[in-house]
Amino acid sequence: MRWAVRPPLHKRFTKRSFVDKEADYVLAIKENQGHLYQDTVELFCHAQATQFCDFDRDYAKTIDKGYSRIEIRECRTISDPMGFPDLRNTAAWPDLQTLSTVDL
């Protein structure tokens, strides 16, 4: 599986360029991305409130100890092969099927 991570803004590629190359891609969602960020936060809040019952989901947790500290990381993903129709403006995100949140 090939992964593409969003490059710095000064070397920005479009989502379409990743899709055209048939690459899997991971894009970070930030608060300045308006509806997408807000809708994603609300979707994860709803999923958590319902204990992810209505979602195809996955969960991973790592615990590392070193340098006199413990680091706990949790990753939750929810998937929708239909492309999350409840999110606004999903047409701008071709082939969107999975959303993730990582707690550090």
pLDDT digits (tens, 9 = 90+) for 32-52: 887 888 888 899 999 889 988
Quote the number of domains for the chain: 1
**Is it the case that residue 2 has pLDDT exceeding 50?**
no
User: Up-side HSE of residue 67: CA atoms within 13 Å toward CB?
Assistant: 1
Nearest of 32, 28, 27 to residue 16 by alpha carbon: 27
**Is it the case that residue 12 has pLDDT exceeding 80?**
no
**Is it the case that residue 19 has pLDDT exceeding 80?**
no
Average pLDDT, the chain: 79
The pTM score is 0.71
The residue segments making up the domain with residue 86 are: 3-103
